Structure 1
Amino acid sequence: MEDTTNLSPKADASLYNGQPSDTGLSCPSAGLTSRTPSISEDSRNGVSVENVPAGNKQWFVLRVSYGRIDKAKTFVEAKGLECYVPLQYKEVRKQGKKRIITTPLLPSLIFVHASAEQVEALLHDNKVVANESRALLSYYFNHTIHRQDNPDRNPPLTIQDEAMNNFIRLTSVKNPHIIPVTSDNIQFKLGDNIVVTEGEFKGVHGRVARIAGQQRVVVELFDGCLVATAYVPREAMRKNITQVVIATKLNMIR
């Protein structure tokens, strides 16, 4: 098995995970694959190396009006900005054969890597709402904090590069058993911060949970946005020591 533990591939954000709407591929196994794609293979498949922090650019979470994710992606790319639309891979049968089709995993959200000024200009461009009654894009606000210059308002939600890299690593795997979940239907175990060490989800950091009768790893990008891997066996994961140390220190402070 090729060791890519220290590598952090990410999807080329302008390529929809590098896949068309119908891949025509056979359904991958829900279990572990024999090896993890190398960086060079990822690049050929529309997945590039980890995004490098660039100046004042951040990952902004933007809302997309209903049913217009394709238009939003095209619009953002036309402005020369990097964006990411995670896909969900689904099994279908065509002419007696299993095939994989893709649909947006989070159809009301798009992730844009840009400066605050670029995003502001993007949202105020007249072409966004020209001849239409509703805005194509809008801010997704961070309701856990308030703006320093206006305590009555929330700032736009942004995602740290490390968390975004982890999310992209997970959602770039072409596996139909990756699913969005809610905090209401999962229960985490004590001390369950782990990193996957083998298989197609190798390198993904998250928390162990039992979902749909299977042991999976859940990645929480922000409050209310959780995505679960396919089944991951216990022997293919180890405790994330860094997270355990941080949690221990927080408990001591309390």
Structure 2
Amino acid sequence: MAETARYIDNVIDDGASWYAVRLFTIRQEEVRNFFTEHGLECFVPEQYVDVEGCDGKPRRVLRPVVRNLVFVKQSVEDKAFQKIVQETDYKISVLKKSKESREYALIPHEQMYEFRLMCNPEVTMRKFLSSEEARMKAGDEVLVKFGPLKGMSGRLVRSSKKYYLLKEVPGIGVMLKVSRWCCVPMEEK
């Protein structure tokens, strides 16, 4: 419980939007460090997995959920960020608003704040989805009124006879188990 509280305390909603950076390299940690060295905050969704240690015993380690995405907080102007991206030796691409557009697609701070909260590695009743899988899930837009997810919004979807709150950002979606009785349609806020 203390680790969950510590994680939540580190997720700050400061009103800043986020870039989604797609990687064409397996060096995700190096790309994250590159942006961090340039004074930019990064986020990579992670989850605990069991691996066999050197002694043959299982141990839990944090691993990235996806290997081809890094989210970077917009703390500099687009031109400055573009210059930083051009300086990298890694093959990366910042998601754009559309294929024809040169403007970066920014993830609004509210959406990214809730997404980061939902990515807490201590939460076990959670599923990660690709963007395509998330789009295929039908569900109504809801606001959670009660329980530990109170105040969060997303789509209420059903999977394996259970209800989940689905939150999507470019490149990935996350679903957290929720009781449908805790949710109200968005227009009833």
- Give the TM bin, normalised by the shorter chain: 0.7 to 0.9
* Pairing partner for 1:74 from 24, 27, 33: 33
Q: Does 206-215 or 94-103 show the bigger shift?
A: 94-103
Q: 1:142 matched to which residue of 2?
A: 97
Q: 1:157 matched to which residue of 2?
A: 105
Change (3 A) 1:155 1:187: same
Q: 2:46 matched to which residue of 1?
A: 87
Change (3 A) 1:71 1:46: farther
Q: 2:172 matched to which residue of 1?
A: 225
Q: Do 1:141 and 1:154's aligned partners in 2 also have CA atoms closer than 8 Å?
A: yes
Q: Do 2:11 and 2:113's aligned partners in 1 also have CA atoms closer than 8 Å?
A: no
Change (3 A) 1:192 1:113: closer
* Pairing partner for 2:79 from 112, 117, 120: 117
Between the aligned partners of 2:109 and 2:167, the Cα distance in structure 1 is 14
Between the aligned partners of 1:232 and 1:245, the Cα distance in structure 2 is 18
Q: Do 2:47 and 2:121's aligned partners in 1 also have CA atoms closer than 8 Å?
A: no
Higher strand share: 2
Read off the aligned partner of 2:137 and give its amino acid letter.
I
Q: For 1:184-229, what per-residue CA distance to the aligned partner results, in whole angstroms no more than 9, with x for missing partners?
A: 65332xx451316323x4543222111233221111224x632111
Matched, 1:169 2:117: yes
Query: How many pairs does the alignment contain?
Result: 183
TM-score, structure 1 as length reference: 0.60
Q: CA deviation at 1:97?
A: 8.0
Read off the aligned partner of 2:172 and give its amino acid letter.
C
Q: 1:207 matched to which residue of 2?
A: 155
SS at match of 1:106: coil
Structure 2 residues not aligned, in runs of 5+: none
Cα RMSD over matched residues?
A: 3.2
Q: 2:137 matched to which residue of 1?
A: 186
Change (3 A) 1:207 1:100: farther
